[in-house]
Structure 1
Amino acid sequence: MPVNFAPDLVIQGFTPPLKRADFKLAAFDMDSTLINIECIDEIAAAAGKKAEVAAITEAAMRGEITDFKDSLRRRLSLLKGVPVSALEQVLNERLQFNPGARELCAALKAAGLKLVLVSGGFTYFTRYVAAQLGMDFVRSNELAFDANGALTGELVMQDWGDICDGEEKRRMMLACAAQIGALPAQCIAVGDGANDLPMMSAAGLSVAYHAKPKVREQAMVAINSGGLDRLLCVLSA
């Protein structure tokens, strides 16, 4: 039975608090979790296609579109020809960290946890976010550009594949955990959308941040208002 641990926290499956020292790794989604926007929707705004792209994004995050890879390819195809300057504008003018993101990451790092950024978004943005928050591992998608610096509507194949979907997020979290000698039970997974559920289900502590209903229902901790640092109420120092 879920309980309200605090006005903005819903807890189910355990009795808080837990100890930060019980965990060795925390994996985070980026868009709408660590940051305030869905980057692909903001890029689409520059192409005059935000409504069309955002509708697909919303349906995918709610779990109504179950094939994330297909939904991402559909959205990317609508962005063909968008110049790199549009991405620069999103990064410089639209992207902000969600409340408590810096504080939570700093507290977890101070407790000795390794941080993983796993995103269905793009390296153009994850590089910045990872550097700002001190992430130890990063996995995200690489946008392809043509010779004129415009989006081709496709992704670059990387050594692990081309699309970081829910299963890749899970695989990356577990691979990073194994690399540092951590068990899945010693992992924290934080997200907001349906494609975060695979990694959240594999982690010892799953956290939904201002999430879609399907994600809130399955998470052990749901932060429904306030900042990400509300999680620190559940994790004692």
Structure 2
Amino acid sequence: MVRGAVFFDVDGTLVPQTSSGQHLADLLGHADVVREAEAGYAAGTLSNREVSVLDARGWAGRTPAHVRDFLESLPLVDGIAETVAWCRRQDLLPVLATLAWEPVGTYLCERFGFGHASGPRLEVIEGCYSGEVAEHFDETGKRDFALGVAAELGVDPARCAAIGDSRSDLPLFSAVGLAIAFNATSVARSAAHAEADGGDLRAVLPLLSRWLHAHPHIDVSGRPAD
């Protein structure tokens, strides 16, 4: 029986110091475009939709198999498999709530055992990416995706946790019972209930464990709640 879910961000959280989009763009040959676009998103001058459109153009003519090969070299923090396994032992479904492209989420689900993944989709025509976006996905979509997963599981969002690092995680942080900022920006830290840092995802496990076993009037930090 599933007692809740833990939603993990990808870029900046599982993928440290860069993004899956930037990593793939480096290999696909449009790194400068994505670097500028992601900087614009971080600064609030570009929407996620605008970034996706610019990035998608660089995928034109490539096959899903080609991109899958590139994902084998995706930089990742340590401890992902162990953290996923811990969640499952606690009857918590590990889920990817991310703005990363659908092939990234699919790859990480298959490699580590996450139950589901969100994300925008690229158009494929005759076996190749066309350079167009088939389905956009933004930060409110990330929250709505997570709430949909919770509803399908029949669990209260208050029994779910989210782990992320940036402003795209804020809507989801406000919707769950525990929000953990991991290697996060100041904006994400200020919106989270707890924070952790380091190169190993297992740094979040004490926070998750404390939250699971806390008495109702004790918050995740172990301090009496106001």
TM range (shorter): 0.7 to 0.9
Q: What fraction of aligned residue pairs are identical, expressed as a percent?
A: 23
Residues 146 and 172 in structure 2, CA contact (< 8 A), matched pair in contact too: yes
- 1:32 alignment counterpart: 12
Query: Closer, same or farther in 2 for the Cα pair 1:167/1:88, shift >3 Å?
Result: same
Whole-Å Cα distance in 2 between the matches of residues 80 and 135 of structure 1?
A: 25
Runs of 4+ in 1 over 6 A off after TM superposition: none
Whether 2:106 is the aligned partner of 1:100: answer: no
Residues 28 and 189 in structure 1, CA contact (< 8 A), matched pair in contact too: yes
- 1:7 alignment counterpart: none
Residues 30 and 119 in structure 1, CA contact (< 8 A), matched pair in contact too: yes
Whole-Å Cα distance in 1 between the matches of residues 170 and 20 of structure 2?
A: 20
> Number of residues paired by the alignment?
206
Query: Closer, same or farther in 2 for the Cα pair 1:89/1:180, shift >3 Å?
Result: closer
Residues 65 and 71 in structure 1, CA contact (< 8 A), matched pair in contact too: no
- 1:55 alignment counterpart: 36
Q: What pairs up with 1:1-237 in 2 under 5 angstroms? A: 24-36=4-16, 37-60=18-41, 62=42, 64-65=44-45, 67-77=47-57, 79-81=58-60, 83-84=62-63, 87-92=67-72, 94-147=73-126, 149=128, 151-156=129-134, 162-234=135-207, 235-236=209-210
TM-score, normalized by length of structure 2? 0.80
**What secondary structure sits across from 2:100 in the alignment?**
strand
TM-score, normalized by length of structure 1? 0.77
Question: C-alpha offsets along residues 149-196 of structure 1, whole Å, 9 cap, x if unaligned?
Answer: 2x322122xxxxx12211111011111112222112111011122211
Which amino acid is 1:215 matched to?
A
Residues 27 and 70 in structure 2, CA contact (< 8 A), matched pair in contact too: no
**What secondary structure sits across from 1:178 in the alignment?**
helix
Q: CA RMSD in A?
A: 2.3
Q: Which runs of 5+ in 2 are unaligned?
A: 214-226
Question: C-alpha offsets along residues 49-102 of structure 1, whole Å, 9 cap, x if unaligned?
Answer: 212312222342x3524622222223323x15352365234212x214312222
Whole-Å Cα distance in 2 between the matches of residues 113 and 47 of structure 1?
A: 36
Query: Closer, same or farther in 2 for the Cα pair 1:87/1:142, shift >3 Å?
Result: same
Whole-Å Cα distance in 1 between the matches of residues 87 and 148 of structure 2?
A: 19
**What secondary structure sits across from 2:97 in the alignment?**
strand
Question: C-alpha offsets along residues 115-167 of structure 1, whole Å, 9 cap, x if unaligned?
Answer: 22122122222112112222222222222234362x322122xxxxx122111
Whole-Å Cα distance in 2 between the matches of residues 83 and 130 of structure 1?
A: 22
Query: Closer, same or farther in 2 for the Cα pair 1:198/1:63, shift >3 Å?
Result: farther
Whole-Å Cα distance in 2 between the matches of residues 27 and 147 of structure 1?
A: 34
- The structure in which a higher percent of residues are strand is 1
Query: Closer, same or farther in 2 for the Cα pair 1:97/1:46, shift >3 Å?
Result: closer
Which amino acid is 2:132 matched to?
E
Shift of 1:112: 0.4
Which amino acid is 1:117 matched to?
L
